[in-house]
Structure 1
Amino acid sequence: MSDLDNSTPEGAAVQIINGSHPTIQNAKADFSGLANSTSSQDSDTTDSDQPLTHYHSFFYDLFTWKFPRATGFFFFAAISLIFAFRFVNVLRYVFKATYILFFLVTFLEIASKPFGTRGFISSIRPKPYYTIPRDSLDRLFGELHDLLNFFALEFQRVLFAENIFATVVASFVSFIGYFLIKYIPLWALSLLTTITAFTAPLIYLQNQEVIDEQIQWANEYANAQLANGRQIAEKYIDDASVRARATASELTQKVQGYAGKKSPATEKSQASSLPENNSPSHEFPDVPKSGFPAVDGESDVKAAAPEPIVA
């Protein structure tokens, strides 16, 4: 009879109301599993044996859809929140709800005064006002501290290439985001980032063998190209070093030949060939004292020269 009741719409409605429906039970189990991954201590460590926070396992279980109902809830909640802030002025409606609440409280308090010494709101006022326990704040700040450490550790693991595949993916995603931010608004970029974060790990897990093969092929191809480039670079470096040594040897021989022409023995022999009086190496010939032809009348002039007058 109970099975028949469960198969009818009335029985399903009763199960939904009392929380015994299988779908509700599965959703509770998924949320409990995700919460346990948050509260449990993670045994994973970094390459330097530094322990990771428990949020590492939480986000891994969340984005890999280990608990599909809980992940689906967070996924659609994030999408709805982005659309709500995009198409609805949330802050304006918050102020609207606030002033409606205060006006309603004021109206009930004033309207109920004639019927008693105390108003309606005053009569339901709690004696001790609610306060936030210190333990709750300590737990909240503790979780916030672990969450911030999670982001700090994961950023450093990607930055220092602990997993080269994650570093490559991060560089590619940041490069795409750098160009997309020029052409699409922030809310659209946030929507695209959220969809990618919740779908890319699931696609990878469902096609892990094919993707790993492609990644392995790309890695081998890149290594082969790097090795080929290294060999070509070494060949060019060897050729350049041989040419440099040949040029240096040729220049050395020319310098030695030029220095041999100007050796100290040659300079000494050249210095000894110079005259001692440091006179120029070329001398002009002596002027002849005789042999010039006699000019007409010159001899007669000499013969007819008057004798000196004696005073």
Structure 2
Amino acid sequence: MADTATTNGGNTMDSLKGNAQAAYDQLSNGPVAQNVKDQSAKTTSELNNLAASRQTPLQPAATGQPLTHYHSFFSELLSWNNPRASAIAYASVVSVIFVARYLDLLRYSFKLTWMALGVTVLAEVAGKAILHQGLATQLRPRKYYTVPRETLDSMIGDVHELVNFFVIEAQRIFFAENVFASGAAAIGAFISYYLVKIVPYWGLALIATTLVFFVPLIYATNQELIDHYLKQASDVVNSQTEQIRQVASKQTAQAAEMTKQYMGDYTAKAQEMIRGRSTSPAATKKPAPAETDFPQAPKAEPGFPAVPKSDLADIKAEEEPLLS
């Protein structure tokens, strides 16, 4: 009886083990597991593609300077050509923002530092006081860890490229190498100027991260429609610019013609005024008269006509009174 019970118990255990193994094999080789494996393989492949995209672009900046390999990296990341890698990067950045906001990492890092140092100091002092040998000394490694030069050079080179990426991009935006990008940055800065009064910094960081990741995705999924409207807007702007240029050119020509006419009139009036002043009696000096301009005085005395005597006798006779 005991042997039979033992045999039945062993068969039951073997049966349970067999069923568990079959269920495990079914789960591990089933459609769900296969789908998980496929997605994991695709995610790994996309992450590898994203890492391989870190190459210096062939097209330089407008100044002729070569760009950094982070330009290719971020361009590939934000293009959503590898959607799983882009989604992981977005989730990672958002997680960092939330962790930094809600856990207050800087304050807790100081807290963790003083707690760790306090524990090691107390352990060392207590060990020397009780065991005549510090506990921290026993845990100290034989050789302190150092950063290999190759690793440090690689890290410094990477940080150098990353810093140059932001510096070059800031200058390209400021000097309007891409008008649309500079316009979008200006609008974003304008909106942020007012949002910062009501939205905390972590909220602005979250909004900026979402826009940076999802605006390219929206454009990629609706590229044809967006390009159509952008072309219409560009045509309208170009036509209005051409009209403004023509009107400005016409007005400039008219203003130049009127200015030329007024200048001619003022020049003529100025010349007339100058001529009038030069011919006025007050301004004109007469030449001194020469001696030949005056008539010569007569040298002989002028002759007077003689009075006739007959007439004089008649006059005297008339003046004498008549004798009776």
Q: Is the 8 A contact 2:56 2:66 kept in 1?
A: no
* 1:4 paired residue number: 26
Question: Deviation of residue 223 (structure 1)?
Answer: 1.6
**Distance of 2:272 and 2:118 partners within structure 1:** 109
**Distance of 1:68 and 1:127 partners within structure 2:** 47
Which residue of 146, 149, 157 corresponds with 1:142? 157
Q: Supply the AA of the counterpart residue of 2:216.
A: P
Post-superposition Cα deviations, 1:69-92, rounded to whole Å, max 9, x if no partner, equal 222222122212222222222233
The normalised TM-score by structure 1 is: 0.70
Equivalent runs, 1:64-79 vs 2, <5 Å: 64-79=79-94
Secondary structure of the equivalent of 1:184? coil
* 1:308 paired residue number: none
Structure 2's unaligned 5+ residue stretches are 1-21, 290-324
- Aligned residue pairs total 267
**Distance of 2:64 and 2:267 partners within structure 1:** 59
Q: Supply the AA of the counterpart residue of 1:129.
A: Y
1:249 aligned onto 2:264: yes
**Distance of 1:70 and 1:3 partners within structure 2:** 30
Post-superposition Cα deviations, 1:215-252, rounded to whole Å, max 9, x if no partner, equal 22222211211111121122222222232233233333
Distance change in 2, residues 1:112/1:229 (3 Å): same
**Distance of 2:104 and 2:284 partners within structure 1:** 106
**Distance of 2:267 and 2:128 partners within structure 1:** 114
1:184 aligned onto 2:206: no
Q: Supply the AA of the counterpart residue of 2:47.
A: F
**Distance of 1:235 and 1:100 partners within structure 2:** 79
Equivalent runs, 1:44-55 vs 2, <5 Å: 44-55=59-70
Secondary structure of the equivalent of 1:182? coil
1:37 aligned onto 2:59: no
Distance change in 2, residues 1:88/1:240 (3 Å): same
**Distance of 2:273 and 2:126 partners within structure 1:** 119
Distance change in 2, residues 1:271/1:148 (3 Å): same
Distance change in 2, residues 1:112/1:269 (3 Å): closer
The normalised TM-score by structure 2 is: 0.68
* 2:313 paired residue number: none
* 1:133 paired residue number: 148
* 1:198 paired residue number: 213
**Distance of 1:66 and 1:225 partners within structure 2:** 37
1:21 aligned onto 2:37: yes
Q: Supply the AA of the counterpart residue of 1:199.
A: F
Secondary structure of the equivalent of 2:41? helix
Question: Deviation of residue 173 (structure 1)?
Answer: 2.0
Which residue of 172, 177, 184 corresponds with 2:187? 172
User: What RMSD, in angstroms, separates the aligned Cα atoms of the two structures?
Assistant: 3.7
Q: Supply the AA of the counterpart residue of 2:185.
A: A
Question: Deviation of residue 62 (structure 1)?
Answer: 1.5
Question: Deviation of residue 122 (structure 1)?
Answer: 5.1
Which residue of 225, 228, 248 corresponds with 1:233? 248
**Distance of 1:52 and 1:30 partners within structure 2:** 23
Q: Is the 8 A contact 2:56 2:71 kept in 1?
A: no
* 1:294 paired residue number: none
Distance change in 2, residues 1:82/1:265 (3 Å): closer
* 1:304 paired residue number: none
Q: Which has the larger radius of gyration?
A: 2
* 1:293 paired residue number: none
Structure 1's unaligned 5+ residue stretches are 275-311
Secondary structure of the equivalent of 2:53? helix
Question: Deviation of residue 95 (structure 1)?
Answer: 3.5
Q: Is the 8 A contact 2:277 2:283 kept in 1?
A: no
**Distance of 1:268 and 1:92 partners within structure 2:** 95
Question: Deviation of residue 142 (structure 1)?
Answer: 0.7
Distance change in 2, residues 1:107/1:261 (3 Å): closer
% of aligned pairs identical? Answer: 35
Question: Deviation of residue 164 (structure 1)?
Answer: 2.3
Deviates more, 1:65-74 or 1:224-233: 65-74
Question: Deviation of residue 128 (structure 1)?
Answer: 1.6
Post-superposition Cα deviations, 1:3-52, rounded to whole Å, max 9, x if no partner, equal 7343559x94xx99xxx8333333222222222223x4433322444322
